[in-house]
Amino acid sequence: MIAEATRLTRTGRLVEATALLQRMLRGESAPEPTSRTSQPALIRQEPPIIDAKANAVEENNSPDLARAESRMLRELLERTRERRGFRLQAVTERKPLSTSDIVPDGTRFIEGSYSNPAGSRVYKLFIPSRHQGQPRPLIVMLHGCTQFPDDFAAGTRMNFIAEENSCFVVYPAQRSEANPAKCWNWFRAADQQRGSGEPSIIAGITRQVMRDCSIDPHRVYVGGLSAGAAAAAIMGNAYKDLYAAIGIHSGLACGAAMDLPSALVAMREGGGSSHSVLFDDGPPVPTVVFHGDRDTTVHPSNGDQMLARSMRAMSLQKKVDRGQVPGGHAYTRTILSDASGRGILEHWNIHGAGHAWSGGHPAGSYTDPKGPDATREMLRFFLEHSLAQRSG
């Protein structure tokens, strides 16, 4: 069905392509071929945008194609909204954020901007209160769709945990001009490569902060949620010399999709692209993965596939722990370690959780306060790794 929907889209048969994607998402078989004059019913209501949305495609600068891709994805999101399980709340429905929601007392959260030939983005930078002296770690946090730096910081409370550990945190902000839902374009081939597209902008922001602040170049990390998590996986794969570890929350592996149709499949069924990569040639990038097993937006098998792919790529020792957050979710934590006992990959399978930041604060969007605390565990994992370990 995906191949046929793509063919219909590229030949201008947009209504038929949309209807075909609708049938796929309902688990139905393909209908008999229809004439160009047939007009299947379209969805009647605009759903909230939560995970990905196409903008104009650089390789094929066709506004008709971009509009059709957006329609396809809106149908996926409409189906997500109708499913049982965790229900997402639109950012616009939440009460205004206060400074105390975003940063601890005595710290700063400042705005900056970066530009290169691929484009420009603003960002927010958290500066811990005890940053003078020796270089400190830097965490790059990539928000999910419809989110923005203040909202993501409030929901994850990364600034508060970073203050405890004297870390800097930078939050690049996606522009609505680049993606109408402010999603990082993780599913586009042009935005999965080193030195071009959005990866070059995120890496440029990272390096700019490293130049402007006292940052330890061996302890720079990147994490994200949903579309931001997929972008973080791309950054870790494309810039292994820059990031010492990756954090993926409710996301997908680098290369899980190469266009919007394959992104729909990856989100619904798990990433199956032949290009899908977590570890390629060279030293592996330590990675921590969090995923709820009731996620109806990004299929939980995406997290499982990262674990399986890592075990195929390396000879790793496996350890499984199980736990329960008091009054919250149970979880299964799988740790893959190298011969020296150093943890290379952690996978947290959170039982009963949906598409939301585990242990997050309700001041921010897309959070599940029932834990475990993904922010604290992600930062703990980050600080266990450095580029010096990989090069040593």
DSSP, residue by residue, 29-90: PPPPP--TT--PPPP-SPPPP-S------SSS--HHHHHHHHHHHHHHHHHHHHSSS-----
Average pLDDT over residues 82-96: 45
CA distance 221 to 238: 13
329 DSSP 8-state letter: -
Per residue in 365-386, pLDDT (tens digit) is 999 999 999 999 999 999 999 9
- Residue 10, judged by CB atoms within 10 A of its CB (0-12, 13-18, 19+), counts as middle
- Residue 157, judged by CB atoms within 10 A of its CB (0-12, 13-18, 19+), counts as buried
pLDDT, residue 187, reads 92
CB 184 within 8 A of CB 201: no
Check whether 94 has a pLDDT greater than 50. Answer: yes
DSSP lists the bridge partners of residue 335 as 319, 346
Q: State how far the alpha carbon of 197 is from the alpha carbons of 83, 130, 156, 237, in Å.
A: 34, 35, 27, 15
pLDDT, residue 126, reads 98
CB 167 within 8 A of CB 136: yes
> Is residue 236 helix, strand or coil?
helix
pLDDT, residue 270, reads 80
Check whether 27 has a pLDDT greater than 90. Answer: no
Per residue in 118-165, pLDDT (tens digit) is 999 999 999 999 888 889 999 999 999 999 999 999 999 999 999 999
Q: Which residues contact 184 (CB under 8 A, 6 or more apart)?
A: 142, 174, 191, 198, 224, 227, 228, 230, 231
CA distance 303 to 318: 16
Q: How does strand 136-142 pair with strand 215-225? A: parallel
pLDDT, residue 255, reads 85
Of the given ranges (81-85, 134-138, 169-173), which has the lowest mean pLDDT?
81-85
Q: Distance between the two ends of the chain, CA-based, in angstroms?
A: 48
**pTM score:** 0.80
pLDDT, residue 259, reads 85
Is the CA virtual torsion 221, 227, 230, 236 positive or negative? negative
- Residue ranges in the chain assigned as alpha helix (H): 2-10, 14-25, 63-82, 99-102, 149-156, 158-164, 197-212, 227-238, 260-269, 301-313, 374-383, 387-391
- Model confidence band, residue 283 (pLDDT cutoffs 50, 70, 90): low
Check whether 279 has a pLDDT greater than 70. Answer: no
Average pLDDT over residues 161-190: 95
- What single letter denotes the amino acid at residue 189? A
Whose tokens are 């952690």? That residue is 346
CB 210 within 8 A of CB 220: yes
Which domains, ranges and CATH numbers included, belong to the chain?
2-82 (no CATH), 104-391 (3.40.50.1820)
Per residue in 214-244, pLDDT (tens digit) is 999 999 999 999 999 999 999 999 999 999 9
- Model confidence band, residue 38 (pLDDT cutoffs 50, 70, 90): very low
Query: Would you state the structure tokens that stand for residue 90, as one six-digit string?
Result: 């639109």
Helix (H) or strand (E) holding 254: none
- Model confidence band, residue 4 (pLDDT cutoffs 50, 70, 90): low
Cα pseudo-dihedral 153, 290, 93, 66, rounded to 10? 100
pLDDT, residue 43, reads 23
pLDDT, residue 303, reads 83
Q: Which range has the top average pLDDT, 2-16, 219-233, 295-309?
A: 219-233
Check whether 44 has a pLDDT greater than 50. Answer: no
Whose tokens are 């565990």? That residue is 377
